[in-house]
């Protein structure tokens, strides 16, 4: 039962975390750039790696991706602006906008910046085509089934709002507005397994044949899982690539044109690179249950409350005592928010669980592992709590890549 983070294999080790704890106020996020580089290397077989920045959209992380020749996906005007400020180019396919609708401001900026659009609805095609004929587009196709680690992350099938159900209906619209169809895209959800993957590849081939238009790209979307628990196996990328490569070759043969294979992961690239550091501020018994309350809440790390997600938790003692691995206690970990759901040890549906953890003292630190994806990027200001600091470890240096927001900044919006 490991309670302390690994001391040898990454920069996210006890020595570094202790250094940061002394220097900065908890809670804060820490990322290790090396882990991101290593994950990028694993995907090098794909022609294009497009980072789904929603997983971790800090501009410094985006710059790191750009320097490693990745491209980027944006799902909002804010994410487009982030990509531009990180150095990704307009008038190119370095940024692609993926969505199921346009608001007016986003549409006009996309046309101004000439950013290709991965359209998830026919209305998007009409609205874009009527003012920007010739615009480069992809079709995001709903393969009529989906998959996800939680119902909330399943993006295919009848219960999903994502993608175009019948892509053949897009063809007359594309013709009418002279739009340039360059790619087909499918993303069925997060946490995909091989069985579903085979089905997606098959659905992609079927759609490409049905549409029968010379395209340049297909995108496998994102969704590659990572092992959040110690007994989970990492995904076999070779197998993943082989399935998509086969699909690409079939499409390429049918259309008699070369096809580039793109992948669009978020979590796979960044989840394991990040931890959330928090401090124990209160310990109390509620009947027979032992509650440990920390200074981070679901406004900081939302995944456990939103999906019942598991994050491994380690303890760093605040003093020199040794945490005896055998002196453990069943513990519920909660945050400071005014809601009973502000619990980090819960299942989907909100059932509270306990975690076997060392007996803690006030002032000890709790480390939440694998929070580099959908950690900081899903944080909110609920309970008027400022966004917390983000720190990047790169080449043995510690760099604050986002300072803590101030309460004054929050209030100033209302003045």
Q: How many CB atoms lie within 10 A of CB 194?
A: 12
CB–CB of 404/386 below 8 Å? yes
CB–CB of 199/244 below 8 Å? no
Residue 299 binding ligand LLP, by CB under 6 A: no
Q: How many CB atoms lie within 10 A of CB 286?
A: 9
Residue 221 binding ligand LLP, by CB under 6 A: yes
**Which of 62, 52, 111 shows the shortest CA–CA distance to 262?**
52
Residue 39 binding ligand LLP, by CB under 6 A: no
Residue of the chain from 53, 58, 98, 121 that contacts ligand LLP (CB under 6 A): 98
Cα–Cα distance for residue pair 33/36, rounded to 1 Å: 5
Minimum CB separation from ligand LLP for residue 109, in Å? 20
Residue of the chain from 147, 268, 298, 344 that contacts ligand LLP (CB under 6 A): 268
Residue 276 backbone phi and psi in degrees, to 5: -110, 125
* CA 321 vs CA 2, 12, 80, 208, 364: distances in Å: 17, 21, 48, 62, 11
Residue 71 binding ligand LLP, by CB under 6 A: no
Residue 186 binding ligand LLP, by CB under 6 A: no
Which of these ranges, 26-34, 261-269, 286-294, 400-408, lies near ligand LLP under the rule CB under 6 A? 261-269
Could you say which DSSP state residue 340 is in?
T
Residue of the chain from 11, 58, 106, 153 that contacts ligand LLP (CB under 6 A): 153
Which of these ranges, 128-136, 259-267, 293-301, 359-367, lies near ligand LLP under the rule CB under 6 A? 259-267
Residue 220 binding ligand LLP, by CB under 6 A: no
Which of these ranges, 216-224, 290-298, 353-361, 396-404, lies near ligand LLP under the rule CB under 6 A? 216-224
Cβ closest to ligand LLP, residue 61 vs residue 316: 61
Cβ closest to ligand LLP, residue 39 vs residue 385: 39
Cα–Cα distance for residue pair 288/327, rounded to 1 Å: 17
Binding mask 42-61 for ligand LLP (x = CB under 6 A): ----------x--x------
**Which of 274, 304, 298, 276 shows the shortest CA–CA distance to 380?**
298
Residue 371 binding ligand LLP, by CB under 6 A: no
Cα–Cα distance for residue pair 393/11, rounded to 1 Å: 7
Residue of the chain from 223, 274, 297, 304 that contacts ligand LLP (CB under 6 A): 223
Residue of the chain from 224, 251, 280, 393 that contacts ligand LLP (CB under 6 A): 224
Number of residues located near ligand LLP, criterion CB under 6 A: 19
CB–CB of 56/270 below 8 Å? yes
CB–CB of 275/268 below 8 Å? no
Cβ closest to ligand LLP, residue 30 vs residue 270: 270
Active-site amino acid positions:
338
Residue 264 binding ligand LLP, by CB under 6 A: yes
Residue of the chain from 116, 143, 156, 265 that contacts ligand LLP (CB under 6 A): 265
Which of these ranges, 7-15, 57-65, 222-230, 346-354, lies near ligand LLP under the rule CB under 6 A? 222-230
304: left (phi over 0), alpha (psi -120 to 50) or beta: alpha
Q: Who's near 276: CB < 8 A, 6+ residues apart?
A: 27, 28, 29, 296, 300, 301, 367, 368, 371, 375
Cβ closest to ligand LLP, residue 135 vs residue 267: 267
Cβ closest to ligand LLP, residue 24 vs residue 97: 97
Residue of the chain from 129, 143, 156, 266 that contacts ligand LLP (CB under 6 A): 266
Q: Who's near 51: CB < 8 A, 6+ residues apart?
A: 62, 65, 70, 71, 72, 73, 264, 265, 266, 269
DSSP string for 278-308:
EEEEEEEEETTEEEEEES--TTT--HHHHH-
Minimum CB separation from ligand LLP for residue 53, in Å? 9
Which of these ranges, 81-89, 100-108, 215-223, 280-288, lies near ligand LLP under the rule CB under 6 A? 215-223
Residue 106 binding ligand LLP, by CB under 6 A: no
Cβ closest to ligand LLP, residue 102 vs residue 268: 268
List residues binding ligand LLP (CB under 6 A): 52, 55, 98, 153, 155, 187, 190, 221-224, 264-268, 303, 373-374
């Amino acid at each position: 039962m490991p309670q302390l983070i690994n001391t040898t294999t990454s920069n996210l080790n006890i020595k570094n975390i202790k250094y940061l704890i002394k220097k900065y106020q908890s809670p804060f996020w820490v990322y290790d750039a090396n882990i991101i580089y290593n994950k990028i290397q694993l995907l090098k077989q794909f022609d294009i790696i497009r980072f789904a920045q929603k997983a971790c959209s800090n501009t410094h992380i985006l710059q790191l991706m750009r320097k490693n020749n990745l491209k980027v996906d944006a799902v909002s005007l804010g994410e487009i602006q982030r990509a531009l400020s990180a150095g990704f180019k307009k008038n190119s396919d370095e940024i692609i906008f993926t969505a199921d609708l346009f608001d007016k401001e986003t549409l006009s900026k996309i046309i101004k910046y000439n950013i290709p659009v991965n359209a998830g609805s026919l209305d998007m095609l009409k609205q874009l085509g009527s003012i920007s004929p010739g615009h480069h587009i992809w079709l995001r196709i709903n393969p009529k089934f989906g998959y996800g680690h939680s119902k909330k992350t399943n993006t295919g099938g009848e219960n999903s709002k994502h993608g175009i159900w019948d892509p053949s209906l897009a063809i007359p619209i594309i013709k009418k507005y002279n739009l340039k169809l360059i790619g087909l895209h499918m993303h069925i959800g997060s946490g995909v397994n091989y069985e579903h993957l085979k089905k997606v590849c098959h659905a992609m081939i079927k759609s490409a044949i049905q549409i029968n238009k010379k395209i340049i790209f297909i995108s496998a979307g994102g969704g590659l899982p990572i092992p959040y628990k110690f007994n989970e196996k990492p995904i076999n990328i070779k197998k993943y690539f082989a399935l998509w490569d086969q699909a690409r070759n079939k499409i390429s043969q049918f259309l008699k044109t070369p096809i580039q294979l793109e992948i669009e992961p978020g979590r796979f690239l960044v989840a394991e690179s990040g931890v959330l550091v928090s401090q124990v501020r209160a310990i109390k018994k509620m009947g027979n249950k032992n509650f440990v309350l920390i200074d981070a809440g679901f406004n900081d790390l939302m995944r456990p409350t939103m999906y019942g997600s598991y994050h491994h938790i380690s303890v760093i003692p605040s003093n020199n005592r040794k945490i005896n691995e055998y002196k453990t206690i069943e513990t519920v970990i909660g945050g400071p928010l005014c809601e009973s759901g502000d619990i980090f040890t819960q299942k989907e549906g909100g059932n509270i669980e306990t975690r076997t953890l060392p007996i803690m003292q006030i002032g000890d630190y709790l480390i939440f592992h694998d929070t580099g994806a959908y950690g900081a990027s899903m944080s909110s200001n609920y309970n008027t709590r400022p966004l917390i600091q983000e720190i990047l470890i790169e080449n043995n240096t510690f760099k604050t890549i986002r300072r803590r927001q101030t309460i004054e900044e929050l209030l100033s919006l209302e003045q």
